[in-house]
Amino acid sequence: MKGFVTRHRFDPALLMPLWVTSGLMFVVAAEVLYLVLSEPNTGSSLTAAEGLGAPSGSEGGVPKAVHLCFMTFVLTNTIGNIIQFIKNSPTISGVFLSRDGVGQGWMYCYSCETHVPSRCFHCPDCNVCVLRRDHHCVFYGQCVGHRNYRYFLCALLYTWVALLYAMVLNMEVFLAIIQEGVTLRTVLMLIMPWLMFMTGQVSPSAFLFAFVADTCVVGFLFVSTVLALHAYLSSHGQTTREWLANNHQYDLGWQQNLQEALGERWYLVWIFPFITSPLPGDGVSFKRRPDLAQLPAKQFYPE
């Protein structure tokens, strides 16, 4: 068995989805900023001041400075957590794996040519074993594991907040489209704005607003589902694989589970991605429920 595992060869192709995700984030952020700083004409008599949550100069409207501060806070946390997620690789590269674990449920990875601890599995995309592997995140081009789970969960949370905020500001776009009545044109504009644009039925600006609005709705529904799942998993001390296998051996109670996943300052990590929160474990050995601590970890993972 090896001691220190050498670093695996990085595949630049893994970053392609990240660039696509970054591009969509930029387009949505630019469109929302435009809605905040101006009152665009969407081809309807409806003005931005009449849109739900849309900034305006009328009385009762939210000041633009408040919108800008909120946008800056959400965007900083979203991007910061993504950067930290990528920087903190959860793989076994450079990790010393002691020989003491051999014979205690550790499996042998033929690709990495080493024994690996429980909760550690090989990722075919990253081509390396990942400590406390949950899944490979195609949007960020890296696995979710022991060292970066905190940043993944926080990035999910702030992405959810950002999409909800964008949907509220884009409510004017939906109302402007629906105001024309339920016709084939309005239905296609809502679900396939790119088709309407390619056939010359709408202007480029109307297409952009409709495309961003649709992207926000679809993204919000998807992120809501993933966030709800991982909120459950993190509070129950499970990975996705363990949840599917009905494995509860690492469930130590919601508070201890959050500390194991997010670090000692689990209650502060939501505020800013650069707040230090040391993880209590090393990603190799984990605390287990007292009633299951005597059972081999391997038997919880059927072949």
Distance CA 79, CA 142 (A): 15
Distance CA 88, CA 130 (A): 12
DSSP letter (8 states) at residue 131: T
Instruction: Concatenate the DSSP letters of all residues of 230-253 into one string.
Output: HHHHHHTT--HHHHHTT--TT---
| H or E stretch covering 115 | strand 114-116
Q: Return the sign of the alpha-carbon dihedral for residues 223, 224, 227, 233.
A: negative
Q: Return the sign of the alpha-carbon dihedral for residues 41, 210, 79, 54.
A: positive
Distance CA 36, CA 68 (A): 8
DSSP letter (8 states) at residue 299: G
Distance CA 147, CA 283 (A): 8
In the annotation, is 126 catalytic? Answer: no
DSSP letter (8 states) at residue 95: -
User: Cα–Cα distances in Å, from 226 out to 108, 112, 178, 268?
Assistant: 31, 30, 29, 22
Catalytic residue among 123, 126, 137, 143: 137
Count the Cβ atoms, other than its own, within 10 Å of residue 25: 17
Distance CA 212, CA 135 (A): 28
List residues with catalytic annotation.
137
